[in-house]
Structure 1
């Protein structure tokens, strides 16, 4: 029986075995020491202190070469067909293991572009060369990047449960904080309310330090990725709140926009409403466009063209990005053709934050609304409850 704490890892290793078969790869070797490889928490739910060699196999008979002191940690996972302890000489033990397995094609974690796929250090690579020989290694090595990107991108049922809970808790905090905002409160004070909400629910910030505040921007003070400042809310302000929450290692990424009524106003002025409606229309266009088989730049174009059709400057960032163990989780990006990974293919099971944004300079209305969706075989399913109306705050 699989322990709940290792359910994600069990699902990920099953996906790894399937992908190894599809790519015709005998074995996938992951060398690690002192948590040097970022893929291990995703793939096996833990890491090693001393030198370790994880070998993933097509038949699901995964192995690990581990020190005596790390051995119990890996046996406790229930994920490995064999946990092989070594004594003082890791290189000798690694050579023996590679001779025993004799892979014709060996996947290694190296990448020129994706740091999450580039966990093999130079020192570990040189150790592997010494263990099995440079010529032999050159003949069998391939990059694991295509496998690791797909495993990271396509979410398992257990991962989706955690992401959905992160999104749900994020929206709870938004509602709680929005009800407290009044004129005179500073960005920093609003940010502190978010931190209180995170602590009360046992979650943390998904981007920065665990209890850093989210992005809290009064538009007239500048819309940017910055810490909340001492600018206070005034009548007529547009307030943007962008929050990532981490729940059991998985993140949300949701943004909401509020308007502070001026004396005598019962609703936002026309230019503010138009900016908000344009952002919402762009999100709808992107969500309706996204589907398995689409290229990232195609989805970007749907959201981007809606912003431009509203009379606003083109978006300065991508229309969307993947969400998972990190707020910006790599893989296919919903960006223009010039952006890295925007030519990637959207696949069912991927989770995206959708955020086509109205950005203007000179204090003109800016709008950031961000929703989270999971791609299905038929299109997309919302994980967040959409913001379809501009939240208004009395002053």
Structure 2
């Protein structure tokens, strides 16, 4: 989303790497809430087990996360149990590169709803200064030389420690401990970005459901040419996801593609493609090329997909070749970007390499690829932004790590002879880390053919022919 989303079967799912998505994707129901929570908590424990190695990787001996109810750190949402909906009172957590077994036995049992680990000091929940006294005693027992806090000035995922909370912490712990505090944004970023392999099969099912909803939305089931508006279709998507117990992280965007760029790039600001159409949207007509930007949220996971559709005219059997060629050009840029995602490369390095190949092949386009997973626009390196095609500060200097996911988001411009017009073809598909040899692969597939909207009138005319 941008301007404007038993053992053998499990192994088989992990190794399956489709290129062209299933032409008939299906809806995959979510498990009951209790089972969802069990699955999500297992994912969380798997991630938390990697914290000591993460701290050692970045030369830090301890990591403190502190927040109050409704003023949570960003990373809190990747650490909490599934049945926890906010921090309780003041919740302060300590993680160590070298956990001390004595700490687990010397501290009292964690309150219900906290997420303490038997291998770590865990979290303290309270209202009074006793919170700081407990944290201080834990720090004294471990005696770390460095204590990471999430107070980076630019990177959201590593700047969750509120200013007021830091002042309270400093007053409660004293100068001896604040002098050891360091800001290492890579810790929070990589913790959020790194996805457990066990998440992938469920993520793929959610992605298939997103494809299925788009297929149903881009059909006569939801579109009546001359009557249905783009806004109608956007709200249809909202209702469809809710009807199947999904939510979203952004309002779906449906546009009729008939201009070169979907935003005012020269102004350096992003404008929704359909903003000029008014709140009711634009009436969809025969022969329209449609674009949708759509994402699902479920079980702490987020998808982001952009597909293209075409409303067949009466008597028309297929998409005009010029539109097909534009989609094919977009697929080529997808190949370029996906191949240039590499462990250890910064977002800006991947952007430069991708644009270099794009221009060498004579393609006009833009790349604005981002991490995805716990958040729609998740933690990790940004590979361009819509209005930043040379360099992205802060997040653009972060490097890709193993087991993170990206949403390959981009567009190409293509001249369509049938319309004597240059149009934009915006596409987006998510990729996952498939290992050292295979790199990043499509989670479910990628669109290589238009979604054809065959209305009753169109189908009747075609039958007569």
TM-score (norm 2): 0.73
Give the Cα separation in 1 of the matches to 2:181 and 2:70: 22
Pairing of 1:164-183 with structure 2 (within 5 A): 164-179=204-219, 180=221, 181-183=223-225
Alignment of 1:281-296 (within 5 A): 281-296=332-347
1:104–1:299 distance in 2 versus 1, CA, 3 Å: closer
* Residue pair 1:10, 1:79 contacting (<8 A) in 2 also: no
Aligned residues: 383
How many Å separate the matches in 1 of 2:215 and 2:285? Answer: 20
Give the Å deviation of 1:282.
Answer: 0.8
In structure 1, runs of 5+ residues without a counterpart are none
In structure 2, the residue matched to 1:388 is 448
1:107-140 deviation digits (Å, cap 9, x = unpaired): 1111111122111122221222222323x23531
C-alpha distance 173-303 of structure 1, shift in aligned 2 (>3 A): farther
Aligned with 1:351 (options 397, 401, 405): 405
2:3 alignment counterpart: none
Cα RMSD (Å):
3.2
Q: 1:229 to 1:302 in 2, by over 3 A?
A: farther
Match 1:108 to one of 136, 149, 152: 149
Q: Is the 8 A contact 1:71 1:83 kept in 2?
A: no
Kept in 1, the 8 Å contact 2:44–2:79? The answer is: yes
Q: Which residue of 2 aligns with 1:186?
A: 229
**Residue matched to 1:261:** 312
| Correspondent of 1:279 among 322, 327, 330 | 330
Counterpart of 1:320 in structure 2 is: 369
Partner of 1:339: 392
Q: Residue 377 of structure 1 aligns with which residue? A: 436
Deviates more, 1:377-386 or 1:154-163: 154-163
Which of 63, 75, 78 in structure 2 is aligned with 1:39?
75
Task: Work out the CA distance in 2 between the residues paired with 1:311 and 1:262.
Answer: 32
- Per the TM alignment, residue 309 of structure 1 is displaced from its structure 2 partner at its CA by 6.0
Please identify, of 110-119 and 358-367, the stretch whose mean Cα deviation from structure 2 is larger.
358-367
Distance 1:137 1:60 in 2: 18
Of 207, 228, 253, the residue aligned with 1:215 is 253
**CA distance in structure 1 between the aligned counterparts of 2:398 and 2:115, rounded to whole angstroms:** 37
In 2: Cα distance, 1:77 partner to 1:244 partner? 33
1:14 to 37, 40, 49: 49
Q: Which has the higher contact order (CA 8 A, sep 6+)?
A: 2
Counterpart in 2 of 1:368? 426
* TM-score scaled by length of structure 1: 0.85
Distance 1:78 1:183 in 2: 60
Alpha carbons 1:278, 1:310 under 8 Å: kept:
no
